[in-house]
Structure formats: C-alpha cells, structure tokens
Structure 1
C-alpha cells in the first residue's frame, strides 16, 4: 500500500497549460516510480535521467525498455558494447534479449568512412554519421520506447555546443514524431554541466546518493502532476525498487475520544483512564528500565480484545520479547497464533527508511488499531534517513490519519542525573509522553514512572513507583514523600511511616 500523489503534494511545469490533462501513459517498469509519476511517463515525451555516477540511471532505463517485454524498444548505447550491457542487466534479473540495441560505442563506430574510430578524427563528419545512423534505425522500425545512454558522449563529439543542441533536438523531434517515448541519460560534471539538457527535456528524473543510500526526485514533469520527493531507491538482485515518500491523507478521521487501556488500573490512572485511540504516545527512559514491557501492555491488551496490533522491534529479536513476556506472566504466544498481534524484527543497517516505511504501509490493514516502533534510536540508523528525521513524523501522521494508535519507545543515555524526557526531535510528534526514571536509595535502584504531557486531557501530576516481577508490571500508589526526582538528586521529605511504605 503506497500513497498516491495529491494536488498539494505535487509539482508541475508552470509554463505548461496542459497540466493534468494527458492520461496516455507508459509504465516505467518500476511500480514505485509509476506511483511517483502518477502511472508512468507520458507517451511521446522525452525525459532526462540525470544523477551522480552509480546512482542507477542506466538501470532505470533498462526497466523502462523491458516494461513491455522489450517489444518495440530501442537502446542506443554511446558507451558500452551490447554484450556487456546484456550481461550486466542479466545480473540484476533484467532480460534485454527482446530489446534492439544500436551500438554507437567507440568500438562500434567502424561504420564511419575513413577507417577506425579516432576521437581526433573530423568530428563533424563522425557526429553527423552517428545521428544519421539513429535516424535510419528509427525510420526503418519506429520504436515505442527509446533509451539514449548517455547523450553526454554526443556532446564530446559535437563540434560545438550549438551543433550538439541542434542535432539532439532534431533527433528528439524525430523520435517523438514517430510516437516514441524517450529517456536519455546524462553524466554531468562541473566541466560539462547539463543545464541545457534540463531545459530541453519534458521532464527530469534525478538520482542521487546522500547519506550512504540512493534517492530519486522529479523536479520537472510537463503535462501532469507528480509526487514530490525525495523517494528512496534500492538497487538489488531484482534491479531497481522505488519507495514513494509517505504522504499523510488529508481527509483525516474526526477525533473521537475513546480510551485504550493497558490492563493495569494504576497505570491507566496515571493517564486519566488510558491513552486516546488515534494518538501518538512516547515512552522514554534509560536502558533496562522497562520501556518496551510497559509500552507493549497497550498492544497486548488491544490484541486480547481482538484488535490487530503490530510491534516493530528495531533493537531486539522477537523471540526475546516473547520470552520476556512469558517470564512476567504475560504470554503472547496465543495472540501471535491468533493473528491479533504481530511482532516484526527489523535490522536498521540492512534497510533504507523507504523500505521500512513501505513495509509498515503494507502491514497495516483496516483492522489495525496499534502500531509500536520499539527503539526510535534504531529508526535513526535506517539508511537514507534525513537529518531532521521527517520520515518518522510523516509515518506517524500517515498512521494516525487512519485511526491507528502509535506507540514509540526512546532510550535516554543517562541512568540517573539531569532529567531529559526525550530527544529534541520526538517531543513535537508525541501527543503523550510517559517517562521512567531510576531512583537510588541506600544502594538500591528503584523505578518511577510519570506523565509529562497529554494533549487531549489532563493527567496525574505525581510520580508512581513501579516494579516488573514474575507476576507482571505492578504500579504503586503516587510517591508523595520524594522531592527532586527530576533533578537527579531525590530527597525524602515525607514521614518515616511513608518511607517504609514506599521503600
């Protein structure tokens, strides 16, 4: 399940009067890219595919050529021999056997009169011979799909920039007049920029490699709306995959205050009855204090009531979670077998943020009421994550717009000491913040839990002590005899009797 482009999330050429009017499309051969483009490339248009070396420009073109089993597809190569091209494509599971390849690589230019290829031969003669050969091929067998890869090589052979642009525009006109849709790749550099090609094209697909991954954007697309980027790109054994950026729905469900219980009355009392459905709750605290255990209570209780819940572990194996639940008297095996609870393991270092968000969108159904991401710190390790972590905010908005209740856990670095409820980025996206602290008395560690924020209602403003035992999570009465817990220097201010009851 991926989101579709909407008017407020698209960008078009301001000079194009036909925006949104043409629906005759050709698939790009990549499902996610078709979603970004609004069902594919417009038939009879020509598009520049540009980007850094290794970003995937040629692979994108291969997918485009074989989208119709290679029927009516022409590949004009100015750089590599056909044998090498077919071999490289096959290594990614892309079969180019049905594609006509016109070899205009240096080794394949022996058709030029005067003998073997020489970059210092009369360039005008050779340049015209190259473009004429393309014309001859196109007129003999008009193609539906064309890839010119890379046209930068033509620039090097052209006698001057004017001649290059003139011949290329003439070639594009010929191809589109024959009904072809054309992709042409560019290898721009500071010495040879491709700004002229950007102006000449009907659209631009730009690939780049920030933060150790790949992303795709469409800054220009005449004649139709497209989804704004960046969109995550993955190159694997099956070629290229594109994961459209998560866009929240604009028709959010009206908020109806309905509370979800944790199954523990004292914990619910802290939150004045529980957490509201369709909100986002963040549980924060130092390592080992019980964030996952306490936060998962809401999912487990919902699953017991027959509502579907999904828990994504970004820092822990599902088997560990299941065993830990069993050890505190909260077996979840039956819920897993019944399908009301799903526990999913995610290895952040092996996934891009786009892949993870796409996985969540696919997993979430109309029956899903809770989604928990255990380990925001693990989310931060996903490849291609933006510096502002806007993807987490977008995912949260996407889910809550569908009425899904979101639960997050965040590990704070300090076991004791100065109080920090969350990292700076997560505070804004959370409707509710539940924090946990360690307390040290007489050489013993104790746990305390409190609520810092609740947007939709009031909450209990006192801390409570809690324990995790073989019988489960036990939350005690409010701590009334302690002062200075949040400063990292708790002091006892109550009576001796109260002290004995608490400690």
Structure 2
C-alpha cells in the first residue's frame, strides 16, 4: 500500500477557528469567505494574512472594486493583529480597479498572473470576488466568459501552489455558483439582529480532506480581531483532562463555609457535584455562594465566580472582594449584554484552567438568561445542559443560584427545568410566624448520599448565614403559613 500524501495544515491565527476547521487550513487550498456586508469577511481575511505572511512566504492581496487599500488599512490597523512591518515586506496590496474597468477579463487574469509570477506568493487574496462576477455579467460576447475566467484562475492558483482566498458578499442560502463547487474550503459568516442585540456566527460549509466541526459557531470582533467560540471544542476538548479524576467524584467532601450546613449535606458537598441554591430575592443565596468560595480559599482551593448579579456592598463582602483583587478568586464580570452561551463558557473554562480552580459559582441563572442575547434565550434550557456537561467534564464543584418567586402553592427549584441536571439542591423560603417574616432552608437532595431532611431556620448577620435548629413546632411550613403542631395528648383531650 502506498503512503498517503500528508497535507500540511496552516494555523490561521484566529482563536477558535482552527478547531472548527478540523485543525487549520489545508496548505495550497482554494478557500472562499462569504457573508453579508459588515459580517467581518475582510477582517477575517486580514487576520489570517497577517498571521501567516512572512518574507519567505509573502501574501498578495488583490483589491477589486472595494475600498482603496490605504482606506482599508487605516481601519484594519486598529486591530492588534496588524503589523506595519509586514507591509511591502511580507504583504503587498494590488488594486485591480483600472483593469476591471476595461471590461477585459483576459487582461484582469493576465494582471493577476503577472503579479504572482513577479514575486511568487504563499498566499493570495481577492476581495471582493463577487465584484468580478457582477461585472462579468455585462461583458460583450467576444470576451472571456466568467466561467472561463473562474476555471483559468482556479487552475493558475493550483499551479502556483498558493493558499488562496476569495472574499465575496454572498449568503450561504445562495451558494449555487460553480466557483463554490471548485473551492476546497467554504466559510460562511452571518450576523442576526434581534431588537437591540446583534449576534455573529460562522459556519464551515466544507473543508476538503478533513473533518470539520459542524453547526453554527458564534464569534465576536474585538480589539484583537475575530475570536471564534467553537461549541464542539468546549464539549470535547475540556473533558479529556478533568481537574478532578472521575473516580474521585463524590468521594471527597468540600466544606461550604456555612456552619451546620455541612451536617445537613451529610458531611459537606461531594467534590465534582453541582449544587443548586434556589430561593426568593433576599433569602441569602449570594451570601451562601460567597461563603463557599471564601472557604475554598482558606483551604487552598481556588475558585471562580461568574457574576450576573450586581456586586453587593455589605461589609461581609469586603473579604471576598479582597480575594478577587489578590487573584485568589477569579471574577468573570458579565456586565456587557448580548453575550453568547459559548462565549461565557469559553471565558469560564479559560479562567478555570489558568487558576487551576476547583470551585465555581454562577450567580445567578436568572441573570445568566438576561445576559445572553435574545437569540439564545429560546434554547436556554439546552444551553444550561451543555454548560453543565462542560463543567462536569472539568471535574470542578459548582454552586449556582436561582431566584424563584415564592408562591407557596407549588414547590419549584428552577424556572428553567434545570433541577434534574444538578446533583444537590438547597431550597430557601420565607415563612410567616406570629406576624413576623422568618427564613428557612432545607436540603432537598444530594445524589447518592444520605442528608438531613429537616427544615431549619436561619438568619443573615454581619458574619454571614447562621443556621439554627430544626423547625419542629410547626407544620405546613412550605405552604408559607405554618400552623403550630399539636402536643401529644391534645387530641385525646379534645375528644373527651
């Protein structure tokens, strides 16, 4: 059996893009980048070009009917990937506007061939290729046809052994032109606007010779350029190297930092578990979550908090804020709205790995839903499932909060139906006793572990949560209006 020809894959320099491409761009491939105006096509092309272009393997960027190179570079230099030292040394821009204006596409092709032969490039870019197609529709009958132009250009690009890119304003739904058939790679960029939010997505429609990651992947345009958040990468790559070995999951018990709560949980929260703390506003969910992180720091267990709620300013929070400033606890502040689920999970996993964190707090699921763009709220429940799978693969112990409206007529733990995904649940409620409002909590479940089933009073003090004794003198507590239990013998006396 003959040996297979190995195809070298080029790292694009775009975070997350190589993962969805299946390892990078195949060398000497013909790639097409399509999308509507403003979707980031030119920025993506420039980012790849500045990353790959060297003096030994220079890049030629042919500008057709778009903006002049100087204007284009004035905007592109705002990105950190822009390197002015590469201009004219490793990157050269060529304007084809005058050649296109003649309507002679044999001349256009000859110009491209001449420029390439003058300084054999490793990369070739044509922006915008659709302009060539549009103008070719108005050619006289005695000139080179568009089909001939495409075929000859494709043959030339293959003979030159260059990695080439054609950029055009096309939508994935309109991919029917022959040029898309001969392409080795096809990347579709799109953006959707819903009310006041905008979401950008990238889809690899095809990439010859390698397995791509299917589906739509969100991306953002930052000061560093384009950043792709590949969903499949998060789900598969992270689970390969969990921070806590799977066989140890649940064996060790973690202290919560709240006296007596560990007893209620059966000796602490099993490591690698996910704990849902559900309760109405003001019941102390965030206080419990912060105590969980602070206790981890005291025991040498770094933590991360994803803050979707407003940071409290109580005196007992100062210690936690100091831990964040000192780098003992990682903080992911999600104040910018219109985030994607994958972006949040991507940022979270990065911090977990960087800090080697073993404790994670998500405060809260209600704020989480508000932080993501409206596009992702339709499948928010599925997104939570995906996030739990990622964190479970990492082996970290997770505490998340969920705000509930205390109706007292039903016992719910999450408005998102996420309770079944968690390993443990603590419920907090208000009750009325003698015209006073009191707080109670109970451990509803701890998977595969015995736990306290009693309902206990608790108070919130300057020191945090203080749990009291079980409420044994009342019944019907979860109904919101408890009644005093009858003492032994009262029923017999009433019957006499």
TM bracket (short chain) = 0.7 to 0.9
Q: Report what 1:465 is aligned to.
A: 457
Q: 1:425 to 1:168 in 2, by over 3 A?
A: farther
Q: Report what 1:234 is aligned to.
A: 220
Mapped partners of 1:358, 1:209: distance in 2 = 20
Alignment check: 8 A CA contact 2:99 2:107 kept: no
Q: Report what 1:4 is aligned to.
A: none
Mapped partners of 1:346, 1:340: distance in 2 = 19
Deviation at 1:109, TM superposition (A): 3.4
Q: Report what 2:263 is aligned to.
A: 269
Deviation at 1:28, TM superposition (A): 1.8
Which moves more between the two structures, 362-371 or 57-66?
362-371
Mapped partners of 1:419, 1:179: distance in 2 = 66
Q: Report what 2:344 is aligned to.
A: 356
SS in 1 for 2:459: strand
Q: 1:191 to 1:371 in 2, by over 3 A?
A: closer
Q: Report what 2:191 is aligned to.
A: 209
Alignment check: 8 A CA contact 2:290 2:320 kept: no
Deviation at 1:496, TM superposition (A): 7.5
Q: 1:171 aligns with which of 153, 160, 176?
A: 153
Q: Report what 2:492 is aligned to.
A: none
- 1:450 matched to 2:442? The reply is yes
Q: 2:304 aligns with which of 294, 304, 310?
A: 310
Deviation at 1:276, TM superposition (A): 1.0
SS in 2 for 1:214: strand
RMSD over aligned Cα atoms: 3.2
Mapped partners of 1:177, 1:34: distance in 2 = 25
- 1:198 matched to 2:167? The reply is no
Mapped partners of 1:359, 1:484: distance in 2 = 44
Deviation at 1:265, TM superposition (A): 4.7
Deviation at 1:55, TM superposition (A): 1.2
Q: Report what 1:85 is aligned to.
A: 72
Alignment check: 8 A CA contact 1:432 1:455 kept: yes
Q: 1:367 to 1:140 in 2, by over 3 A?
A: closer
Q: 2:169 aligns with which of 175, 179, 187?
A: 187
- 1:224 matched to 2:206? The reply is no
Q: Report what 1:61 is aligned to.
A: 45
Mapped partners of 2:172, 2:359: distance in 1 = 50
Which moves more between the two structures, 55-64 or 295-304?
295-304
Mapped partners of 2:172, 2:343: distance in 1 = 33
SS in 2 for 1:223: coil
Deviation at 1:353, TM superposition (A): 4.0
Where do residues 11-26 of structure 1 align in structure 2 (5 Å cutoff)?
22-26=6-10
Alignment check: 8 A CA contact 2:429 2:439 kept: yes
Alignment check: 8 A CA contact 1:287 1:415 kept: no
Q: 1:303 to 1:495 in 2, by over 3 A?
A: farther
CA displacement 1:73-125 (0-9 Å, x = unmatched): 111222222222222322335357332222223xx33773xxxxxxxxxxxx5
Aligned residues: 458
Alignment check: 8 A CA contact 2:297 2:303 kept: yes
Mapped partners of 1:21, 1:424: distance in 2 = 51
Q: 1:355 to 1:320 in 2, by over 3 A?
A: farther
Deviation at 1:341, TM superposition (A): 3.4
Q: 1:416 to 1:445 in 2, by over 3 A?
A: farther
Mapped partners of 1:427, 1:166: distance in 2 = 61
Q: Report what 1:379 is aligned to.
A: 368
CA displacement 1:325-370 (0-9 Å, x = unmatched): 45xxxx4467557754344433142755444333222221374210
Q: 2:379 aligns with which of 383, 388, 392?
A: 388
Deviation at 1:386, TM superposition (A): 5.9
TM-score with structure 2 setting the length: 0.82
- 1:74 matched to 2:86? The reply is no
SS in 1 for 2:158: helix
Structure 2 residue ranges without an equivalent (≥5): 489-496
Mapped partners of 1:177, 1:294: distance in 2 = 66
Alignment check: 8 A CA contact 1:204 1:221 kept: yes
SS in 2 for 1:289: coil
Deviation at 1:406, TM superposition (A): 1.0
Q: 1:305 to 1:193 in 2, by over 3 A?
A: closer
Alignment check: 8 A CA contact 1:285 1:410 kept: yes
- 1:278 matched to 2:272? The reply is yes
Q: Report what 1:7 is aligned to.
A: none
- 1:50 matched to 2:57? The reply is no
Q: Report what 1:255 is aligned to.
A: 247
